[in-house]
Each structure stands twice: as C-alpha cells, then as structure tokens.
Amino acid sequence: MTMLYAIMSTDVPNSLEIRQKVRSAHLERLEILRITGHLILAGPHPAIDSVDPGSAGFTGSLVIAEFPSLEEARIWADDDPYHKAGVYAQLIIKPFKKVLP
C-alpha cells in the first residue's frame, strides 16, 4: 500500500544561483515520479508575490507524491539534487491525506 507524502523545503538565503545550477537534475527526478504516476504536484515558493520572481528567487519548494512509506519518501527527498547541493536549509517530510478535490 502506498500513501501520499508532503515534502516541504525551506531554502537557504540567496539560493537562486545554486538552484539554477542543479535545476535540470532536480526536474529529471520529478519527471520520473510524474511518468510513473506518483507525482501529485510540485513547485517552488516564489520569494515575492509574482509567478516569475526574477532575481528575488524562491524561499522553498513543495512536492506531494506517493511513496510506499515515510522512510522511502525521506530517502527520495534526501537524494534530491537541490538538497545535496545545499539549496535547502530545512526539509520536512510528512504523511499527507488528500481530501479535496
């Protein structure tokens, strides 16, 4: 049985340059989750109230995906290129129960 997990990250200050360097590797891993039907949603939190924050960058990210266990979700998150490159100051993984829609 699988369950949904929310992977919530908070970026270090001024993370944009590091994000840009490893973005393609980060997106490749998310694409695998999407292709296999396990990705519900994923995206960054803009640092300002804008879809394109430009040089203001981002303050973190949210991924909601299906994994066999909390431990598997944590292993996946720990192996993320953003996490390995030092983009994230904090990484929280929690079970998630979708109610709506």
For 52-91, the pLDDT digits (tens) are 999 999 999 999 999 999 999 999 999 999 999 999 999 9
Cβ(13)–Cβ(83) below 8 Å: no
**In a 10 Å sphere around its CB, with 0-12 CB exposed, 13-18 middle and 19+ buried, how is residue 49 labelled?**
exposed
- Integer Cα distance of 54 and 41 in angstroms: 22
Band of the pLDDT at 2, cuts 50, 70, 90? confident
Share of residues in the chain with pLDDT > 90 (%): 97
Band of the pLDDT at 1, cuts 50, 70, 90? confident
Give the neighbor-by-neighbor strand order of the sheet with 58-67: 39-46, 58-67, 3-11, 88-96
Mean pLDDT of the chain: 97
Task: Quote the radius of gyration of the chain (alpha carbons, Å).
Answer: 13
